[in-house]
Structures are given as structure tokens and as C-alpha cells.
Amino acid sequence: MVDLHVHSNRSDGTYTVKELVDYAIQKNLSAMALTDHDTVDGIDEMLAYAESLRASGAKGVPEIIPGIELSTDLDNKDVHVVGLYVNHKSPAFVKYLQDFVDSREKRNEKMCLKLQEYGVDITYEELLERFPGAVITRAHFARLMMEKGFIRSMVEAFDKYIGDRRPCYIPRDKVTPEDAVKLILAADGIPVLAHPILYHMSDEKLEALVRSLKAAGLIGIEAVYSTYSPSEERDIRKLADKYRLRISGGSDFHGSNKVNIDLGTGLGKLCVEDSVLEELKGARKNILFTDMDGTLLLNDSTISEDMLRGLHKLDEAGHCLVLTSGRPLPSILERIELFGFGVNGEGPEYGDDDSRVSGLHNLYVIANNGGILYDCGKKEIISAKKLEPDLITTVVNMALEAGLHVHAYTDKEIVGFTDDEEQKYYRSRIHMPLILTNDIAKVCADGTYKVQIISLTDHEALVKLRARIDAALSDRVDTVFACNEYLEILPKGIDKGRAILDMTDYLAMPRSHTYAAGDAENDLGMIRSAAHGIAMANACDILKESAEIITERDNNHDGLLEIIDKYFN
């Protein structure tokens, strides 16, 4: 059992960080996240104390997760975002917190003056003296007011004086929930929307918030919480499924400041399973987006034994592999099966037969230069976009006028006019059935993922045709060279770069953990979209100019293994 939402006396809890560790051992927690409000001051002490206990031979010391709970404003309503596994020493993160503390101090001084106007004689100096080392929150105001006899309960303090829109309430400087998500991501943390049920929003407004935070990079949502009813937990889990968010959970333990909430068990029935934390840890793994031809594969379109071992090592470490190619989906799946990813026949099935396509646990595909996103484990297409039949007709006619080979695709076949030299060359590398017809658009009545134009001898002819297509259809299609011989026509807005962002959202992983490797012009978008762009030693010049890393070895000497060995252990 774990607890991923815990407060100490460094914010508005009553336990010291050492007391929390001792109590977590007593409660048999395997992990605990310290998520004090807007401060990380207790993290180093908690980490050091836990480590000292382990060194002394203590048993059952939980994993300590560095965290924070950031306070934000949405339409004058408090919304909290928890950060897990934050780099609490990140300079930008530390500066933000200091600026926030400075702002909070000014706000607290103003609240003291307001309270004095209403006959509540407390000063900011008293608060600091009574709660040394704490980031002063309204809970501290309420406790001091009660101790001095101005109120009979902490609830009364909020209802009468310092609650939202009460006479002595002073709003903080506004930080949006989106800002908090981005700040946590910048500190290499996992942003989680805290206790969404507590905001008492309509279903529509809550979903709008989740949608906007997902766009900002939200990774998780607190679906297991002390005060949730079973139906409320189900509702949040459904929302998490809809927006591809990872589940988090915690007690929101504050010690005696929330007298009924206990560490780990909340109101008595809370149980956050270890599997919840394991799923969240998956967001801290890396994703390798790799082109196939000229990058992952050898020049003969095969894969080396060393590369296969490297990919399985990557997978065993929990990282994700996304084959990102201009190839059609059936061709990629055929290569996967041929490469032996379906070890011992244990991979999932694809299509109508029993072909096995993946023995890897975390394998995904981006096909047709971003036109299709595919989940190999679930055997399903995540998203797909096609060119409409009228565009197929227009592009095909322009290619024929230029005297160039052209073909399109159904979901499983190549559709062309003749089995000419270009077609034979293409099919020697892309092993798909061929349909011959005198009307490609008619056969592709449901559209096609791309139109392929090939010249094995005249690259300049392809360049001229590309210029014509761009001039006539740039508002509806994109054009890209997969190599000097292949010009590809794609639906507008479809490229590997956009697909990387969509796949990262689907996987609920931060973009800061993305690596993309390629060699050709059609890989440019993805190495620019990834946090770490990689050009192979054999890559074109424009790709090398845009890349963060250039491998020392080319694809024919397994240059990609340099990246796998360094970043995917």
C-alpha cells in the first residue's frame, strides 16, 4: 500500500517529516510522497532520515517520493496540482517557489490587517513564531485564532472570516492550473490533478478543466482519495480513461489538522495499491521513436542480432519503442513478425489470421509518416487519417502527366496501374499484395493514407512535381521525400512530428522523455518535436543541422545502439 498525498508541518500538517517516516513504517506503507503546499523544504530531511534508517538496518522503510502540491486559481476557485518525483533542486523550480513564498507573505500580512479590522487581533509575526519553518496557510491562521479564543473551531474561521469570498480573505497572485502542470513537467515531475471531486464543479466544467490540463501535459488524476464515494471514484476513473490519464491516489494526511484522515487509510477504507505507483512510474520511462529504413534497419532492410538484443533490453527496462515509418502498417507488422519480436509465439495477433506481431511489452507503431497510430498490445488502430478520393484523383493525374510511377493503398494492399520496374523495386522492400486497376481512386473509395510517387532515376522530376502539387493543393495535402526516390503525398497536417505528440499523449508520458531518431527529410518533424532529436551518421544534412545528437556509427553499423545503450538501460 502507498500514499501519494501527504503533508508535514513544513506546510499545514502537524507531523514532522521524521514522524511521518516513522508512522509510515508503522502503517506498513511501501512508498509515501511528501506533497507539502507550495514548498519542498522538508524533502531533503525526509530522504536523509529514511536513508539513515535503512543504513541502520531498519526494516520496512518506505520509498520517499519528492513531491509538492501547487496552489492555483481557476475563476477564483482553488485548484491544486500535485507533482510527484519532482527535481526539487531545479533552479527554475526553486525560483518559482521563492517568488510564490514572497507573494504569499505579502498576502498573509494583508490578511492579518483585515482580521484586525474585524476585531481578530493576530499579527504575522505571531504566526511565524507559533509555526516556525512552516509555509503559512489559512489553516495556520485558523489554528492561531482558535488558540487565542477568537473562534471555537477551525471551520468557524473559514466560514466567518478567511474562507473564499469571506470578508478577511485576500486572494493570492493568480497562477493557473496549466502553469502548475508545465512547471512540474519542467522539473521532470509527474503532474497530477488533485482531488477533483472537492472542487464541486459541474461534470461539464470538470471535463473542460481536465481537457485543458491534458493539452498542457497533465499525466495523472487523483482517482483514489479519502473522502470519495465509490461512485465518485468510478466517475474520475472514467474521466481518466477518456483522457488517457494515469491514476493516482492518497489520503491527503495533515495530522491533527484533519482529525479524521489517517495516513494511508484516510477515513478507514482507503487503499492505494502498489500497482498505482508502478503505473505512475511508467511515466518516468523513456520513449524511443525510431525510423526504420536507414535508421533501425540495415541497408538490406533486415535487423542485426545485436539490435534485436538491444530492443529487448530496452523493453525489459520498461521503456517504450515506437516504430515510426513512412511504410504502410501491414508492411511494418510484417517486418516485426519477421524480426522475431513475437518470441515463442507469444505476441499479440493482427488481422484475420494468427500472425504474431510482438513479443515486446511496450511496442507501438506510427505508420504512413504519421497517418496511422497503432497499439501492438491491444491490436488496434489508435487514430488514422486518409486522403479523400478527389485528392487521390488529382494527385494521380498530376503524376501521370509528369510520366512518373504512382500508386496508393487500401488498408492491406498496394493499388497501382502496372507492375513496372518502380513497383517491383518498391514491393521488394514493402511486402504487400498488389491490386492492378485503371482507376486507383475508385478502388480506394474510402480514401488512402498516402499517395506514393516513385522515380528510381530522376530525382529532379520528383522535385518539379512536388512544387506543382504544393502550388495547387498546399491547403489540403503535405508533401515529403522519404528518400530521393520516393515522394509521398499525405493528408494536411500529417507528419511524424505531430504523430509523436499524439502518441506521447496516448501513452500519458511527458514529452521531456521522448527520443526520436531518423535519417531522412520525412524524419525532420519528429526530431524537432521530440525532446531529444537524433540524426544517424548517414542522415541528410538538414536532419543533422536540427538534431541534438548525431550517432558516430551509421545504420549499417547499428548506430542506434549508441542511443539505446546510453539512455534506455
Q: Quick check: 257 pLDDT over 70?
A: yes
CATH code of the domain covering residue 421: 3.30.1240.10
Domains contained in the chain, number = 3
Residue where one domain finishes, among candidates 466, 491, 516? 491
DSSP-derived 3-state class of residue 255: helix
Verify that 145 and 31 share a domain, yes or no.
yes
Pairwise pLDDT comparison (457 vs 343), residue with the higher score: 457
Give yes or no: residues 477 and 551 share one domain: no
Residue among 417, 407, 427 at smallest CA distance from 331: 427
Domain that holds residue 365: 287-385+495-567
Mean pLDDT score of the chain:
92
Reported as a single tens digit per residue, the pLDDT across 287-325 is: 999 999 999 999 998 999 999 999 999 999 999 999 999
Q: Are strands 486-491 and 451-454 parallel, antiparallel or unpaired?
A: antiparallel
> What CATH number is attached to the domain comprising 523?
3.40.50.1000
Domain end call among 436, 460, 491: 491
- Residues 315 and 361: beta-carbon distance below 8 Å: yes
Q: Do 377 and 468 fall into the same domain?
A: no
Each residue's pLDDT tens digit, 227-242: 999 999 999 999 999 9
Q: Within this chain, do residues 373 and 421 fall inside the same structural domain, yes or no?
A: no
- Please tell me the pTM assigned to this model: 0.79
Q: What is the pLDDT of residue 98?
A: 85
* pLDDT grade for 350, boundaries at 50, 70 and 90: very low
How confident is the model over 321-346, as a mean pLDDT?
80
Is pLDDT at 449 greater than 90 in this prediction? yes
The pLDDT value given to residue 133: 74
pLDDT in tens, 28-68: 999 999 999 999 999 999 999 999 999 999 999 999 999 99
pLDDT score of 345? 40
Residue 171 has pLDDT above 90, yes or no: no
Q: What span, in angstroms and rounded, lies between the C-alpha atoms of 116 and 122?
A: 7
Residues 509 and 446 in one domain: no
Instruction: Check whether residue 330 and residue 412 sit in a common domain.
Output: no
Q: Can you give the length of the chain in residues?
A: 569
Q: Write the CATH number for 181.
A: 3.20.20.140
pLDDT at 355 over 70: no
Q: What's the pLDDT at 37?
A: 92
Q: What is the mean pLDDT of residues 508-513?
A: 93
Q: Which of 466, 538, 533, 530 is nearest to 502 (CA)?
A: 530
Using CA atoms, how far apart are residues 144 and 139, in angstroms rounded to an integer? Answer: 9
Q: 190 and 44, same structural domain?
A: yes
The pLDDT of 73-80, averaged and rounded, is 87
Q: What percent of the chain has pLDDT over 70?
A: 97
Q: Is the pLDDT of residue 135 over 90?
A: no
223 plus 157 within the same structural domain? yes
Instruction: Give the CA distances from residue 192 to residues 33, 94, 271, in Å, rounded to whole numbers and listed in that order.
Output: 12, 19, 18
- Distances in Å between the Cα of 529 and the Cα atoms of 482, 504, 547 are 18, 11, 11
124/274 Cα distance (integer angstroms): 42
Residues 252, 115 share a domain: yes
- Average pLDDT for 447-475: 96
What pLDDT is stored for residue 548 in this prediction? Answer: 96
Q: Which of 440, 475, 491 is the last residue of a domain?
A: 491
How high is the pLDDT of residue 352?
A: 45
Q: What's the confidence (pLDDT) of residue 75?
A: 85
Which pLDDT score is estimated for 92?
A: 87
* First vs last C-alpha separation in the chain: 28
- Are 436 and 461 in a shared domain? yes
Residues 333 and 410 in one domain: no
Residues 304 and 264 in one domain: no
Tell me, what's the pLDDT at 357? 43
